[in-house]
Amino acid sequence: MDFDERLDKYAELIVYKGCALQGGQELYITAPLQTVDFTRRVVRTAYGAGARQVTVAWSDEVCARMTYDNAPLEVFETLEPWKAERSNSMVRRGAAILNILSEDPEVMTGVDQAKIIASARASHAACKEFYDALDFGRNVWCIAGASTPDWAGKVFPDLSEEEATRKLWDAIMDTARVDSDPCAAWDAHRATFDARKAWLNSQHLDALHYTASNGTDFTVGLLEKGRWEGGGQATADGTYFFPNIPTEEIFTSPDRMRADGIVHSALPLIYNGARVQDFWVRFEDGKAVECDAEVGRDVLQGIIDIDEGSCRLGECALIPYESPIRQTGILFLNTLYDENASCHLALGKGFPDCYEGGYDLDSEQLEQEGVNESATHVDFMIGTEDLCITGIKADGSEVPVFVDGTWAE
C-alpha cells in the first residue's frame, strides 16, 4: 500500500469507526489550516459514506498566538455568542463531531496563562450545550491526529521538514493500526479492551495504591458505582464509536474526595503549547495541595487553580508500559498520543460514562456522587517501567493490577 492509499485508509477509519457516521447525518470538523490535504480526504470519505452535510471550521494557531500576545485579557473572558452557537447548533442537529488535531507543541510557550485559562473557562460556559452533548452520550465525537511540519519538526528536530512530516505521519498511522483493513483491526482491538474491562469491573475495587522507585506512593479511592471504560463507547442511543484514535487506555473516574500521597511524572506534560517537565503533585483528601516541577511549575499550578474542581482527579487510566505507542520510542509532545504511552491521571472533569447510570444525571448530581466536575481535564503521565498498582477491596483484601509497569495477569 503506498503512502497515499494509506492516508485514505486512515480517513476511512476516522469516518467509519471514529465517528461511526450514519447516512444522512451531518459531520462537523474542526481542523488546522495546515491539515487541508488530509481534511479534504476526510470530507470526501464522509460524503462517500452518505453524509448530509460536512462543515469544516478551520483554525490557525499562529494567528491564535498573535491574539494571545496582543489582545487584552478581557477579550478572552467571553466567547462571542455566534462562535458558541456554531458549536451548539451542530450538536442540536445531531452532527458527529470530529477534531483533526495537529499542534505545534511550543506555539503557546510564554503566553500569559491567565488568558489561556480565561479562554478555557469562557468556552466551557458558552458551549455548555456542546460539551454536555459529548459528555452525556448524545453525539458521537472523535479526535484523531494529522502530521504537519510545525509539529513534526518539534518531534524530530534533526530531520528535514519533509522527512520529519513523513515520519510523524507514519507513526500516526502505525499507532492507529492503519493497514489494508483498519476497520477490522479496530474490531479486534475492541475485543481485547472488552476482556480487560470485564475483569476490572468484576473486581469491585475500592481503591488503587500506586508505588514506583521515583517516589510515587499514592492511593486513590474508587466509587462503588464507578465503571472501567476503554476502547470505544456507545452513545445513549447505542451508536458505538471510538472517541480517540489511537487509544490504548482503560480508565475510570475516581472518587473526587479520596486521593492521598505523592505522584511523580513519567513524561512531560504539554498544556496548550507550554511544557511541564519532571514534576510531582501531592494530594490530601482528594485535593492537590502541593506541586513542583523542574520546568513549567507556574503552568502546573495554573492548571490546578483553573477552578474549584481542577485540583481534584477526574480520571485514572491504565496503559501497560509495552503499549504500541510507548514502543515507537517517540515522544509525540501531544496528549492524544503520549497519554496512550503511559498510565496517567487527569486533573479536572470526570466522565459520566464511567459511572453507572451517569448519562441520566447532570453534572451537579454526578459531583455529589463523587465524579469530579471542572471546566478542564488535563492528563499527566505517571507510568514508569517499575510502576506497581495494587487494587484494594472494601474488605481490605488486595489484588495485584499492575506489576513492573504492566498488567499483573
Instruction: Give bridge partners of residue 340 from the DSSP assignment.
Output: none
Contact call for residue 266 and Zn ion (CB under 5 A): no
Cell of 342: 503511559
Contact call for residue 143 and Zn ion (CB under 5 A): no
Name which of 68 and 351 has its Cβ closer to Zn ion.
351
Contact call for residue 13 and Zn ion (CB under 5 A): no
Residues 6+ apart with CB under 8 A from 256: 286, 309, 312, 313, 314, 350, 367, 370, 371, 372
Contact call for residue 245 and Zn ion (CB under 5 A): no
Measure CA 338 to chain center: 10
Contact call for residue 345 and Zn ion (CB under 5 A): no
Name which of 51 and 281 has its Cβ closer to Zn ion.
281
The per-residue b/e assignment along 40-54, b for 16 or more CB within 10 angstroms, e otherwise, is ebbbebbeebebeeb
**DSSP conformation letters of 116-169:** HHHHHHHHHHHTHHHHHHHHTTSS-EEEEE---HHHHHHHSTTS-HHHHHHHHH
Name which of 279 and 380 has its Cβ closer to Zn ion.
380
- Which 246-265 residues touch Zn ion, going by CB under 5 A? 249
Shortest spacing between CB 242 and Zn ion, in angstroms = 14
- Angstrom distance (rounded) from CA 182 to CA 20: 14
Window contacting Zn ion (CB under 5 A); options: 35-43, 123-131, 237-245, 333-341? 333-341
Residue pair 130/139 in contact (Cβ under 8 Å)? The answer is no
Name which of 103 and 339 has its Cβ closer to Zn ion.
339
- Angstrom distance (rounded) from CA 105 to CA 151: 6
Cell of 163: 522527512
Bond preceding residue 246 cis, omega within 30 of 0: yes
Contact call for residue 325 and Zn ion (CB under 5 A): no
Shortest spacing between CB 303 and Zn ion, in angstroms = 15
Name which of 21 and 143 has its Cβ closer to Zn ion.
143
- Which 28-47 residues touch Zn ion, going by CB under 5 A? none
Contact call for residue 313 and Zn ion (CB under 5 A): no
Q: Which residue is nearest to Zn ion (CB)?
A: 317
> Residue from 317, 375, 378, 392 that binds Zn ion (CB under 5 A)?
317
Cα-Cα-Cα-Cα dihedral of 57, 63, 64, 65, to 10°? 160
Name which of 27 and 319 has its Cβ closer to Zn ion.
319
In whole angstroms, how large is the CA radius of gyration of the chain? 20
Window contacting Zn ion (CB under 5 A); options: 22-30, 239-247, 315-323, 355-363? 315-323
Window contacting Zn ion (CB under 5 A); options: 110-118, 157-165, 177-185, 314-322? 314-322
The enclosing H or E element of 203 equals helix 182-203
Shortest spacing between CB 347 and Zn ion, in angstroms = 12
Name which of 339 and 369 has its Cβ closer to Zn ion.
339
The per-residue b/e assignment along 1-26, b for 16 or more CB within 10 angstroms, e otherwise, is eeeeebbbbbbbbbbbbbbbbeeebb
Name which of 105 and 246 has its Cβ closer to Zn ion.
246
Window contacting Zn ion (CB under 5 A); options: 25-33, 155-163, 336-344, 398-406? 336-344
Residue with cell 513523513: 166
Instruction: Give bridge partners of residue 221 from the DSSP assignment.
Output: 207
Contact call for residue 208 and Zn ion (CB under 5 A): no
Shortest spacing between CB 33 and Zn ion, in angstroms = 28
Shortest spacing between CB 316 and Zn ion, in angstroms = 9
Total of chain residues touching Zn ion, rule CB under 5 A: 3
Shortest spacing between CB 131 and Zn ion, in angstroms = 17
User: Which residues make up the interface to Zn ion (CB under 5 A)?
Assistant: 249, 317, 339
